[in-house]
Amino acid sequence: MQPAYIHFTLLAVSITILMAQLTVRNKHNAHILFAIFCASVSMVALQKLSSNSLGPYQYLIGMGACATCNCIWLLSRTLFRKKNPIGLIHFAVAFTIAALIMIQQGYLFATHQWALDAPWMSIFSHMMREATILLSSCILVLSFWEAIRGFEQAKRQDKQQRILFMITFGSAVLASKSAKGVFADNPEMLAVTISIITLCVLASLQYLLYWRFHRAVNADTVLLHQAQNSKPSEPTIRDDEMRLAGQIQSLLVDQTYFLQANLKVADIARELEVPEYKISKVLRNQLQAKNFNQFINTLRVEHAKGMLADPDKQHWSVLVIGLECGFASVGPFTRAFKTYTGTTPNQYRQRSLPAQHCA
C-alpha cells in the first residue's frame, strides 16, 4: 500500500465532499461547518503529500489544518441541540484551539527555517502542545456527549442518527489510539492508518447529513404526491390542520423556538415529524401567515418590542436585542421591525422609554 496514494485519496475525497456542501440548495449551519471540516482535512492530506518536497513550508500548509476536532464539536451541537446550538463562547473555544494549532505550526516552520534553538522556545512549544492535546481531548468528549445528551427524549430517527454519530467517533478515536500504539515505530504506516480512519469519518458524516436533511426532503415529496392522489374528507383535513396548528404554536411560542437563529420550515417539520408542505399549508390556512418567514418575523418583532420597552435593557444595543430575538444581524432586524411597526427599533425605544418614565 503506497502512503502517497492513500493521502491523495483523502485529499480528493475531502475536496469533493467540500464542493458537495457548497452545492446544497437549502444549506443549514451543519453543511457550512462540515465544509470547513473537509477543508481542514484536505490541508492535513496536502501537508502529508508535500512534506518531502516543501520542507519547512509544509507547516504553513499545516496552519490550515486547524478546524478538525473543534469544528466537529460545533457540528455535533448543530446537529443535536434544538435551542441556541452555537453561541459566541463556543466560537471562542473553537477559535482558541485553532489558534493553538496555528501557533504550533508556525513555531515548527520558524525552527526548521531559521534553525532557532533558544531554551525558552522548547518550553513554549511543549506548553502549547500539551494545551492543545488537553483542549482537543475535552472537545472530543463534548462532541460525544452532544449525541448522548437528550437521547432518551429524542424521536426514533433522531436516536438512530445519534447512534451512527457515536459509533463513528467512538470507533475513530479507539482505532487511532490503537494505531499509535501498534505503529509507534512506523510513523509512515501510522499516517496511512489515520488517513484511512479519516476517510471513514468523512463518509459517515456525509451520509449522516444526507440522512438528516435530504432524505427528509425526498420523503416530503413522496408524501405530497400521495396526499394529492388521495382525497380525505374536508372535516378530517380541517381537524388535522387545527391540531397541527396547535402543535406549531406550542413549539414556536411556548417553547420559544422562534428565537433560534436561521430557523427554517425543515427544522419545524423534523421536530414535529410531518412533511414541510403541511407546515406551510397550516401556516397559510390556520394561522393566516403569508409564509414561514413572515410568521417567524412577526413573533420576533413582538418579542423585540417588549425588550426595547424594558427599562432594565435600555443599555442593550439594537444589535444585541436583534440577536437575542433570532435575527442574524442588525440589518434584517431593522428592516423587519420597520415593516411591522412603521418605525426603527431606536425610534420605538425612544418613544417607549420616556413614556414609561413619565408614568
Which pLDDT belongs to residue 25?
81
Which pLDDT belongs to residue 245?
86
Q: Say if residues 106 and 63 touch (Cβ distance below 8 Å).
A: yes
For the stretch 132-190, pLDDT in tens is: 889 988 999 999 999 999 888 888 888 999 999 999 999 999 999 999 999 989 989 99
CATH domain 232-358 topology: Arc Repressor Mutant, subunit A (1.10.10)
Listed by start position, the domains of the chain span 3-217, 232-358
- The residue behind cell 471540516 is 37
For the stretch 198-229, pLDDT in tens is: 999 999 999 999 988 875 544 444 444 544 45
Q: What pTM was computed for the model?
A: 0.65
pLDDT for residue 356 is more than 90: no
For the stretch 107-118, pLDDT in tens is: 889 888 887 777
Which pLDDT belongs to residue 9?
95
For the stretch 294-315, pLDDT in tens is: 999 999 999 999 999 988 888 8
3-217 and 232-358 agree in CATH topology: no
Which pLDDT belongs to residue 20?
94
Q: In CATH, what number does 3-217 get?
A: 1.20.1070
Least confident of 2-6, 7-11, 198-202, 238-242: 238-242
Smallest CA-to-CA distance from 172 within 203, 145, 147 is with 203
